[in-house]
Amino acid sequence: MPSITLTAANFERTVIDNDIVLVDFWAAWCGPCRAFAPIFERASEAHPDIVFGKVDTEVEQQLAAAARIQAIPTLMAFRSGVPVFSQPGALPAPSLEKLIEAIRALDVAPRSGSAGAAASPSQGAA
């Protein structure tokens, strides 16, 4: 499944409603972002059970600020609505695949109650 565009309007619901969500925070002017984009898209096609979302930090500045994005590209991962990974920098394809395997292996209890915290994810490691 191709990646989807995430905005302030659909970010929280997307993270809450799906088991695994990978989010690429990017900007059109960012060279490393453009280099990572095809790797992210290929992974989205290879893993149709995972939601791959993209946040254009130029368009969604408030969302990027809420997510505490300080460098782009930044890749974030959520499992059952819980932020489990956040790292700036473009990952090579093999590293992205290892990350996906690690996230699949996590046993995470779904976030209870309001998922407002999902809109301002914290750093974690898979």
State the SS3 of 65-83.
HHCCCCCCCEEEEEECCEE
Residue ranges per domain, the chain?
A: 4-106
Q: Each residue of 22-36: pLDDT tens digit?
A: 999 999 999 999 999
pLDDT at 108: 76
CA-to-CA distance for 13 and 19, rounded, in angstroms? Answer: 12
Q: Could you tell me the pTM of the whole model? A: 0.85
Contacts of 48 (CB under 8 A, 6+ apart): 1
Kindly state the greatest CA–CA separation across the chain: 39
Could you confirm whether domain 4-106 is CATH 1.20.1050.10? no
In percent, how much of the chain has pLDDT > 70? Answer: 87
Instruction: Report how far residue 95's alpha carbon sits from residue 2's, in angstroms, rounded to the nearest whole number.
Output: 20
Q: In the chain, at which residue ranges do the beta strands (DSSP E only) sit?
A: 4-5, 20-26, 51-56, 74-79, 82-88
- How many whole angstroms separate alpha carbon 37 and alpha carbon 122? 23
Per-residue confidence band for 121, with pLDDT thresholds at 50, 70 and 90: very low
Does 120 have pLDDT greater than 50?
Answer: no
User: Which residues are catalytic, by number?
Assistant: 30, 33
Count Cα neighbours of 94 within 13 Å in the Cβ-side half-sphere.
0
Indicate the pLDDT class of residue 43, thresholds 50, 70 and 90.
Answer: very high
CB–CB of 43/100 below 8 Å? yes
